[in-house]
Structure 1
Amino acid sequence: MNITRRRTRRVLIALVIVAGLLLMMWQGAQLARERALTDLHHTAGNALELSRANLTGYLTRHDYLPHLLATRESVRRFLARPEARRDGPALNRLLDSARAYADVSDVYLLDRSGTTIAASNWQRDDTFMGQNYAFRGYYRQAISGRSGRFHALGTQSGARGYYFSAPVWATGQAPDTPPDGVMVVKVGLDEIEREWRNLDATLLVSDINGIVFMASDPALRLSALQPLSESARRGLLATRRYTDEPLPASGLEILQSLPGGARLVRLGGRDYLNLSRPLARFNWSLHILEPLTPVVQAQWLGALGAGGGWMLIALGGAIGWQRRRLRRERERFAERERHTLAHARDELERHVTERTAELVDSNRQLSQEIDERRRAEESLRQTRDELVQAARLAVLGQLAASINHELNQPLGAIRAYADNARVLLQRDRRDDAAANLAQIAELVERMAAISAQLRQFSRKGGETLSDVSVQACFDYALRLFRARLEQADITVVSHMDESTCWVRADSVRLEQVLVNLIGNALQAMNDSAERQLMVAAEQGDEWVILSVADSGPGLSEEALEHLFEPFYTTRAAGKGLGLGLSISQRIVSDLGGRLEARNRAQGGALFVIHLPAAACSQPPETPADV
């Protein structure tokens, strides 16, 4: 009877242990799943916000172009006088040049009826010339006198694009006069989708009808997030927004709605975390699909950790129960020893000693297993932290391409110093070659400092300013152009205060501004008989004034008016993008100062930088010419 009770009790204990193990593993998996979903939600939200800002900036940077072209005198004259239509090839070439300069897909001009009368692709087989686009939304918006925006498939090329349009008045805008034509700019979308493919997640853009217009996965393009009704299909066919595409359902299945607007969805047999953000400016929605692989891995780790903890508790209980049983056995042995013969007592003590040794050995083995499990858990935690850090670095890696422009000039200087060092070594001028190699090492350190700005920005969300020597920044910038100054026989005239001028700035960004200004000055003096580069620094009570001047032809009235606008340049086509001065002005503004430009009375251009020396209030008046 006692044997049966003991067996029943042991079975119940085993069932309790197994049930507790399953419950703890399930609870641990649930807690790990919630935490992993929260982390994945945060990561996906950051990636979605970055992608939304990138897409908005990519599209809106071309918003100005149709308005700019619509005001061109050649375009107005082309619409105003039918006899000017013989200048069509010239206007076509002008539109093609604007297309290449702005890096857009197509630029074309519609007359009042919506027929294309000039186009950048006039020489291609799928040209827009002679095609009527009065059915397009961008034409109807612009012909009513306002700016137009529209996204659709091209009826000629079949390529997706985003269209900007602007009304054109041949004789000047009047409130009661309808436009004489419409200027249209088509922007391609392949470049932004290629950047999306570098992400681990899937990004897609849908319109108000739920049609996927853009996607990092080509298989999802021109599909519907939800099946379309017949009325919606007829409406889309009427506008020919997507021409005759079948627009099949994507197969997206919503599994669960989560707090914060997130959802768990299934697509193509895989489960994802889905977040969406509206793009109100374009009447779109941006979606991100993050795979749930990290969540599944976290669930397994949580279940294993909770199960291990429960087993430790069970092992601790078993040890306690074993010790209690041992103590009771010892008490029984002691009681029996008092009532038995000495031989039986000695025999009993021997058995007790043997059992105790076995228990001590068992306890030692259990302690070793506990230590091994603790080390394994610590290793798992470290591995998880490393995986989270690696994921963060992968997202930040997508931003590294934005500093490519800042590294071009140091790379060119490194190449020049390396070429000079090779020539000097051939001439056995080792000291001079060593000096060039030292310059290369310094440039590499500066490039590393430039790259570190992106890492610091992502970590703190801002730039840290410090005390920077103006003379040292000028010296560094002039060293970059030393070979070019000597080759072009340019004289450098320096007007610096005898004492060091200190400003509150970032040395790398300030040196970049000086390099841009000096490089523009050297470019301006290519055809000048007298070549002088003048640099100056003046210390004030609250401000430090820096200036760079040249002896070139100076700046025209038009250049002075548009000098700091993005993509404006006075150089020949293909010789520059017109971004240097725009970026320099933005850097100086971020440092708390301002950048100005004007012509010198003696001839040539003058650029003046005001930067705070300490706590400042209002910038001082512009100083006299250098």
Structure 2
Amino acid sequence: MPRIPRRPGRPLSARHWLLLLLPLGLAMVMWQAAQVAREQALQNLVREAENELRLSAAGLESHLTRHDYLPQLLASREMVKRFLTNRGHQDPMPLNVLLDQFRAIANVSDVYLLDRYGTTLAASNWHLDNTFIGHNYAFRSYYQDAIAGGRGRFFGLGTQSLERGYYFSAPVWLDTTTPDARPEGVMVIKVLLDAVEASWAEQDAVLMVADQDNIIFMASHPALRMTALYPLSEQEHQALLATRRYADEPLSPSGLEVFERREDGSRLVRFTQGPLGEGSHLGLARHMEAFGWNMHILKPLDAVLKAQWFAALLAGGLYGVVILAGGVGWQRLRLRRERELFAERERQTLAHARDELERNVQLRTRDLTETNRRLSGEIEERRRAEESLRQTQDELIQAAKLAVLGQLAAGINHELNQPLAAIRAYAENARLFLERQRAEAADANLAQIVELTERMAEISAQLRQFSRKSGSTLTAVSVQACFDYALRLYQARLRSDDVRVERHWREEAVWVHADLVRLEQVLVNLIGNALQAMAETPEPRLILAIETPPGQVRISVTDTGPGIPEAQLSRIFEPFYTTKSPGSGLGLGLSISSRIVSDLGGRIEATNPPGGGACFTLTLPRDERSDAPCPAPTEEQRSHA
């Protein structure tokens, strides 16, 4: 800024002071506006980060805890106990195959059995080069907790695969009667975390999870994984290496630096090194009590900087308009004073025009402010309406599933009454044998009671699996497995109605890109409708078929019932439209099935085959894993078929 020349000894005039204060006022206005905009933008960013952090933490906890029951369930299997009892005299291959089948069904990484000394006896990866069989894991905390009689949890890198995983363990008891009995083995489940990290990559934020030692073992950005949140001392680094939790990873510092702490608990951070070192972020942390972890989210401050610049430029523009208006007024005042004696009427006209202009500016400003307020309210109302609609749709799908469970109640009641009657008979016989001191016969009756209770548990597990809510991630789903699950739910009704089931597909597994729970619900609805349609058919047949055109999978469910009237084919997928008698249904099953298939990227069609009956065809995108081998069915699955 050029210096204003003035004569020595003379004070600055009003004009000189005005020229000095104008740039200073502009800088003050722009700085103040930028500060206000920055604070508002940071508050909005904090609320957005809190919501994303809460949802991500809930998703991670749900992904891990849903497998908590599986080790205890496998530990109670009779085959596992027999193998530990006759260890060294029994072929481990059947147990390896069983563990691999459970791994595929539960969608976990590995399942393996340790003896009481921590050595792996059987594993689902028995056929791989890096198999766990023969390796000792007594140094792992999940083995130590389980062999002590409890249930273990552990996170770390696998010593063989070097993959990050979360481990669940449970003891295998052979003798539970004596007070000093100890477990004879440990059943372990390993769950990978790559799928959760892949879902984080879609967010406009950096998500990372650190353990109690501040080691970042999960992160949406690959460069942050296996780094220390803050620099470790040599003693801390050696202690971590001794535990073998993270194998031989260097655990170098992440470079995170906090340069501002805010009153709401958030922090402004930046990275001094690495690919994230070019920008600054807003950081929030959330403690996960169930695991002892801390989840962090870093939101980029680009939006805050843009808001600051926009507010500063807007304030500067308004300041310029005000100064310009003041200058124009001052010039007008000078002209008015000079021409006051000669143009009184012109002066009054100019003053009136100026006042009118100011009123119009105020009215327009007020109108624009009110319009912006109404627009913001409408946007917020629409967002709430969309959230309510999504929640209502999800609840409607869950209600439809519970309605199907109500239809299955009669069959499930029959399936449970038979084991209950048998349990009572075996219990009465056991009492008589005990009175007659025939312990072996009483033990045989008690063993039958245990098998019957396991059968009842399988039936109730099928109902719990069907009633659970689905997730939002699409994965590779086996169509044959979904058909088998749906048929198991209707096994009692298939037997009572003497329905012949025909399966038309190849032996190898066919995979689609879908959600397992929602695809199972669609097939259960279609099979249930087919069984209702064939209630009066003399020789009912249920025809299930799978075809694989290029890039797609076509799934069809055909019955031999009366079919669908041609006039109703175009309306059967409409909500609350039903061809059943009053009281037999709400007309929501096919409508919900149509919406589910559409969400999965496919389509559903209804036709009347030439031979009679009705045919519903689903067309879904085929998954790249279509050439993967289909796991062999277990004994329980064959019995349901």
TM-score interval (norm. to shorter):
0.5 to 0.7
CA displacement 1:198-243 (0-9 Å, x = unmatched): 1011100011111111011111100111111111111111111111
Aligned residue number for residue 113 of structure 1: 117
Aligned residue number for residue 495 of structure 1: none
Q: Tell me by how many angstroms 1:307 deviates.
A: 2.2
- C-alpha change, 1:271 and 1:121, in structure 2 (3 Å) is same
Give the residue type in structure 2 aligned to 1:221.
R
Q: Tell me by how many angstroms 1:303 deviates.
A: 1.3
- C-alpha change, 1:112 and 1:510, in structure 2 (3 Å) is closer
SS at match of 2:190: strand
Distance 1:312 1:568 in 2: 65
SS at match of 1:82: coil
Q: Tell me by how many angstroms 1:19 deviates.
A: 1.2
Q: Tell me by how many angstroms 1:311 deviates.
A: 2.8
- 1:47 maps onto 2:56 in alignment: no
Aligned residue number for residue 91 of structure 1: 95
The residue correspondences of 1:271-350 to structure 2 (distance < 5 A) are 271-331=280-340, 334=341
Distance 1:317 1:171 in 2: 95
- C-alpha change, 1:376 and 1:202, in structure 2 (3 Å) is farther
Distance 2:467 2:86 in 1: 30
Distance 1:70 1:146 in 2: 13
Distance 2:236 2:389 in 1: 46
- 1:14 maps onto 2:19 in alignment: yes
Aligned residue number for residue 461 of structure 2: 562
SS at match of 1:163: strand
- 1:225 maps onto 2:248 in alignment: no
Structure 2 gaps, min length 5:
1-5, 272-276, 414-453, 469-478, 491-515, 522-582, 586-641
- 1:165 maps onto 2:64 in alignment: no
Distance 2:405 2:358 in 1: 68
Q: Tell me by how many angstroms 1:514 deviates.
A: 3.8
SS at match of 2:91: helix
CA contact 2:156–2:166 (8 Å) conserved in 1? yes
Aligned residue number for residue 455 of structure 1: 387
- C-alpha change, 1:572 and 1:171, in structure 2 (3 Å) is farther
Aligned residue number for residue 443 of structure 1: none
- C-alpha change, 1:380 and 1:457, in structure 2 (3 Å) is closer
Q: Tell me by how many angstroms 1:316 deviates.
A: 3.8
CA contact 2:405–2:463 (8 Å) conserved in 1? no
Q: Tell me by how many angstroms 1:519 deviates.
A: 9.3
Aligned residue number for residue 600 of structure 1: none
Aligned residue number for residue 190 of structure 1: 194
CA contact 2:402–2:467 (8 Å) conserved in 1? no
Distance 2:484 2:42 in 1: 47
- C-alpha change, 1:217 and 1:55, in structure 2 (3 Å) is same
CA contact 1:80–1:171 (8 Å) conserved in 2? no
Aligned partner of 2:41 among 32, 36, 43:
36
Q: Tell me by how many angstroms 1:364 deviates.
A: 11
CA displacement 1:59-94 (0-9 Å, x = unmatched): 00000000111111111111122254x230000111
Distance 2:367 2:254 in 1: 43
Give the residue type in structure 1 aligned to 2:465.
P
Distance 1:368 1:257 in 2: 45
Q: Tell me by how many angstroms 1:279 deviates.
A: 1.0
Distance 2:480 2:105 in 1: 11
- C-alpha change, 1:52 and 1:264, in structure 2 (3 Å) is same
Give the residue type in structure 1 aligned to 2:105.
Y
Q: Tell me by how many angstroms 1:575 deviates.
A: 3.6
Aligned partner of 2:220 among 192, 216, 219:
216
CA contact 1:562–1:568 (8 Å) conserved in 2? no
Distance 2:483 2:230 in 1: 48
Distance 2:201 2:40 in 1: 27
Aligned residue number for residue 438 of structure 2: none
Give the residue type in structure 1 aligned to 2:119.
T
SS at match of 1:27: helix
Aligned residue number for residue 81 of structure 1: 86
Identical counterparts, % of pairs: 46
Relative to the length of structure 2, the TM-score reads: 0.59
Aligned residue number for residue 242 of structure 2: 238
SS at match of 2:174: coil
CA contact 1:272–1:292 (8 Å) conserved in 2? yes
CA displacement 1:457-505 (0-9 Å, x = unmatched): 67xxx759xxxxxxxxxxxxxxxxxxxxxxxxxxxxxxxxxxxxxxxx9
CA displacement 1:373-421 (0-9 Å, x = unmatched): 9699879969x969x979x97xx9xxxxxxxxxxxxxxxxxxxxxxxxx
CA contact 2:214–2:228 (8 Å) conserved in 1? yes
Give the residue type in structure 1 aligned to 2:339.
R
Distance 1:379 1:221 in 2: 49
SS at match of 2:228: coil
Distance 1:244 1:163 in 2: 19
The residue correspondences of 1:120-269 to structure 2 (distance < 5 A) are 120-172=124-176, 175-267=179-271, 268-269=277-278
SS at match of 1:274: strand
- C-alpha change, 1:567 and 1:354, in structure 2 (3 Å) is closer
CA contact 1:149–1:164 (8 Å) conserved in 2? yes
CA displacement 1:551-572 (0-9 Å, x = unmatched): xxxx964444434333799x98
Q: Tell me by how many angstroms 1:110 deviates.
A: 0.5
CA displacement 1:409-463 (0-9 Å, x = unmatched): xxxxxxxxxxxxxxxxxxxxxxxxxxxxxxxxxxxxxxxxxxx8x73167xxx75
Distance 1:51 1:577 in 2: 30
Distance 2:461 2:266 in 1: 45
CA contact 1:567–1:577 (8 Å) conserved in 2? no
- C-alpha change, 1:282 and 1:89, in structure 2 (3 Å) is same
Structure 1 gaps, min length 5:
335-347, 397-451, 465-504, 525-554, 588-608, 612-626
SS at match of 1:261: coil
**RMSD across aligned positions (CA):** 4.6
Aligned residue number for residue 497 of structure 1: none
SS at match of 1:566: helix
- 1:63 maps onto 2:68 in alignment: yes
Aligned residue number for residue 415 of structure 1: none
SS at match of 2:207: strand
- C-alpha change, 1:523 and 1:211, in structure 2 (3 Å) is same
- Number of aligned residues: 434
Distance 1:318 1:366 in 2: 15
SS at match of 1:318: helix
Distance 2:233 2:367 in 1: 56
CA contact 2:97–2:124 (8 Å) conserved in 1? yes
- C-alpha change, 1:506 and 1:152, in structure 2 (3 Å) is closer
Aligned partner of 2:29 among 2, 24, 30:
24
Give the residue type in structure 1 aligned to 2:157.
L
Give the residue type in structure 2 aligned to 1:456.
S
Give the residue type in structure 1 aligned to 2:51.
N
